[in-house]
């Protein structure tokens, strides 16, 4: 268990790298940087196929749930931007 900001950052750094390597997504901590008890992660994926992007992002969520069973996903949202 991580009970420090340093521990949280190590976990997130590893998770972000694994998400990038496995799904070719960009991910970063986007809020709550000063609280070790919570993390807000933003994930972005570029595609010209919205259905494919939705599948990739759903797979990312499943991966996080499987890889970090100690973490509770409180909320998530998907937003698609069309050019």
CA of residue 64 relative to chain centroid, distance: 7
Q: Which token pair is 72?
A: 């509770």
For tokens 């196929």, what's the residue?
A: 49
Asked if residue 7 lies in contact with residue 43, where contact means CB atoms within 8 angstroms, the answer is no
Does 83 score more than 80 pLDDT?
no
Tell me, yes or no, whether 75 lies in a domain: no
d(CA 23, CA 38): 23
Tell me, yes or no, whether 76 lies in a domain: no
Q: What percent of the chain has pLDDT over 70?
A: 99
Tell me, yes or no, whether 43 lies in a domain: yes
Tell me, yes or no, whether 11 lies in a domain: yes
pTM: 0.86
Q: pLDDT tens for residues 37-59? A: 999 999 999 999 999 999 999 99
Contacts of 27 (CB under 8 A, 6+ apart): 15, 16, 19, 20, 41, 42, 43, 44
Residue-range definition of the domain harbouring residue 40: 5-67
Tell me, yes or no, whether 83 lies in a domain: no
């Amino acid at each position: 268990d991580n009970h420090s900001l340093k521990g949280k950052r190590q976990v997130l750094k590893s998770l972000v790298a694994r998400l990038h390597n496995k799904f070719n997504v960009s991910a970063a901590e986007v809020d709550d940087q000063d609280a070790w008890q919570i993390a807000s992660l933003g994930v972005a994926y570029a595609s010209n196929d919205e259905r494919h992007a939705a599948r990739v992002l759903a797979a990312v969520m499943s991966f996080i749930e499987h890889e970090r069973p100690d973490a509770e996903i409180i909320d998530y949202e998907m937003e698609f931007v069309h050019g």
